[in-house]
């Protein structure tokens, strides 16, 4: 399939990547998660695909699946400098427990933080810019040299994710969502079957976990992501929006 033999430079045009994603979905849309990971890592993008993981509430399932396919696959973890201590501990626990050999902790540029968020209060005045400085920009740097990346997004998580597909065009890259069709019950069943350790904050009422200032407990009956940016007209940190729309094609 000639479409899959492109290089990053050849995929600079958004239309080309969109066509690639459409072709991949037409051919592989119904693959299960493990097979999709194996296909992307071993055949479509060998050495050119990474997993981006928050090591959050639902991260263990995808990390475990990846570890069973290729423990040496690069795993990108964004340490914003405002994460819960429990998340940092969970990252170490899962990386060690699953035998992951290439977990890359990426941090914001110190100069950028000093210029735009010297008092660490930007999340109160401009949360979108805060996310861009602490997440989107560091991720853009981390993904240089990769043609594709895995995410843990699932359709059931929110209305904004209800129509996502297995393969998506993401600037000049392909974004792959192996768990796109999984339900909350699927995740729980897999975690139970493999005795995966839960994030320590889940039992304390945090079913979706981000930075400390912008994450709150979720009440029974609320949407799982209701505790993210509560009270704001904001549902995503930006890495699944800004990277697609950025003029640089990142």
Cα 50 vs. chain centroid, distance in angstroms?
10
DSSP the chain: -GGGG--TGGG-SHHHHHHHHHHHHHHHTT--HHHHHHHIIIIISTTSEEEE----TTHHHHHHHHHHH-TTS-EEEE--S-B-HHHHHHHHHHHHHHT-S-EEEE---HHHHHHH-TTS-HHHH-HHHHHIIIIIHHHHHHTTT-SEEE----GGG-GGGTT--SEEEETTEEEE-TTTT--HHHHHHHHHHTTPPPPTTGGGT-SS--BGGGB----TTS-TTTTBSTTSS----STTTHHHH-TT--
The catalytic residue among 130, 211, 214, 237 is: 237
- Sheet of strand 75-78, all strands in order from the earlier edge strand to the far edge: 103-106, 75-78, 49-52, 148-150, 173-176, 167-170
**Whether 196 contacts 188, CB under 8 Å:** no
Is residue 237 among the annotated active site residues?
Answer: yes
Which residues are known catalytic residues? 237
């Amino acid at each position: 399939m000639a479409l899959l033999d492109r290089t990053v430079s050849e995929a600079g045009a958004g239309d080309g990547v969109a066509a690639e994603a459409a072709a991949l979905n037409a051919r592989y849309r119904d693959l299960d998660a493990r097979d999709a990971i194996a296909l992307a890592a071993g055949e479509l993008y060998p050495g050119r695909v990474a997993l981006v993981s928050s090591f959050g509430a639902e991260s263990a399932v995808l990390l475990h699946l990846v570890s069973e396919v290729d423990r040496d696959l690069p795993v990108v973890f964004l340490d914003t400098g405002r994460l819960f201590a429990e998340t940092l501990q969970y990252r170490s626990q899962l990386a060690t427990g699953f035998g992951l050999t290439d977990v890359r902790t990426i941090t914001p540029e110190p100069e950028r933080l000093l210029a735009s968020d010297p008092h660490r209060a930007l999340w109160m005045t401009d949360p979108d810019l805060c996310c861009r400085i602490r997440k989107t920009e560091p991720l853009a740097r981390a993904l240089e040299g990769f043609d594709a990346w895995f995410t843990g997004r699932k359709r059931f998580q929110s209305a904004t994710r209800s129509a996502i597909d297995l393969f998506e065009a993401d600037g000049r890259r392909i974004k792959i969502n192996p768990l796109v069709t999984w339900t909350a019950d699927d995740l729980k069943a897999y975690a139970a079957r493999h005795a995966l350790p839960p994030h320590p904050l889940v039992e304390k009422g945090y079913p979706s976990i981000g930075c400390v200032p912008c994450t709150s407990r979720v009440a029974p009956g609320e949407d799982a992501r209701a505790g993210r940016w509560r009270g704001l007209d904001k549902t995503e940190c930006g890495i699944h929006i800004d990277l697609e729309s950025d003029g640089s094609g990142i």
